[in-house]
Homo-oligomer: A and B are copies of this chain.
Amino acid sequence: MAVYTEVDDEELEAFVASYDIGTLVSAKGIAEGVENSNFLVQTTKGPWILTLYEKRVAKTDLPFFMGLMEHCAARGIACPLPIKDREGRVIRELAKRPAVIVSFLNGMSPRRVAVEHCEPLGGALARLHLAVADFTMKRRNALSVEGWRKLVDDARPRADEVRKGLGDEIAKELDFLAARWPRDLPAGVIHADLFPNNVFFLGNDLSGLIDFYFACNDFLAYDVAICLNAWCFEPDISFNATKGMRLVAGYQRVRKLSEAEIAALPLLARGAAFRFLLTRLYDWLHTPKGALVKPLDPIEYLRKLRFHRSVKSAAAYGL
């Protein structure tokens, strides 16, 4: 659920007029993106997305995100293209917040992932990884091992409110992962949050990738591991090996995984499940009781994590 900053209509009209994108005819706050306020802006030249960055996105990270989207769009990745105003600026200010207009992408996020979605998804992820090979800006992954440690410290005293024994389990898991986390897999910029709600399809054709606001430098195969978690479990948290196989096959058709990457995949998948378990746990423990917006269930990711723990090799994912 998005936070909505209200924008004054006259201010918005003037803002849009400072771009070469036609005259404003409509603007609606849309339920897209959890961290920002997003508006679907219609002008005489068509639809555009206006994003106001709320406090959860660091202003200093914006040049990285904008540069990344420009870089990817220029290499044919179907992602939002940040639009320059008449003075050539991308990052502007509106309603006292950093503000950006990006191109509109057709397509809908799949509400239920079908097997047919997984191969194009894998392919798009691999193309993204190839496209960013020559992108020179960097952003540290704040949600890797060191970030997990902070989240475990925060959650541990209260984690048992969510499930008995969870505090100990996350502490042990952190020890396990920290001791074994890979050091030298192929790395680059990863999307790091390529969940179904951040991917658009038209029918079964993938038409867009959005929401690059967790993008960072990390192992490329970790992005695959995140997608295995996000796309290949059924609602009952059983792992759909066909979906996993298709996802990885789609990926490998574009970019071959190395032996080392394949060997590391179960551990990376376990780490990815842990990362989402921890952030959901954080949100769960820090959302006021009775809030209308329910945080996502952390236990879903505990169950995914346990699945990955049980995996003997990447063969379990269809490799």
Interface residues of A (CB under 8 A from B): 1-2, 4, 6-9, 12-13, 24-32, 40, 42, 47, 104-112, 200-203, 288-293
Contacts and interface: CB of A to CB of B under 8 A. Distances in A.
Closest 3 CB pairs of A and B: A288-B290, A29-B31, A25-B106
A16 to B, nearest CB: 11
Contact of A9 (B7, B24, B25, B201): B201
Given A106-B42, A292-B292, A111 B31 contact: no
Contact of A112 (B8, B104, B112, B202): B8
A301 to B, nearest CB: 20
Contacts of A201: 9
Contacts of A104: 26
Contact of A291 (B108, B200, B292): B292
A182 to B, nearest CB: 36
Contacts of A29: 30-32
Contact of A110 (B9, B30, B40, B110): B9
A93 B17 CA distance: 40
Given A9-B109, A9-B111, A42-B106, A290 B293 contact: no
Contact of A26 (B2, B13, B107, B110): B107
A32 B25 contact: no
7 contacts: A4-B31, A8-B111, A13-B203, A25-B106, A25-B202, A26-B104, A292-B292
Contacts of A31: 2, 4, 28-31
Contacts of A30: 28-31, 40
A111 B6 contact: yes
B107 A25 contact: yes
A106 B22 CA distance: 14
A108 to B, nearest CB: 4
Which of A9, A25, A42, A200: most chain B Cβ within 10 A?
A: A9
Contacts of A1: 4, 292
A288 B287 CA distance: 14
For A108, A202, A289, the residue with the greatest tally of chain B CB atoms inside 10 Å of its CB is A108
A47 B6 CA distance: 22
Given A47-B42, A112-B8, A26 B290 contact: no
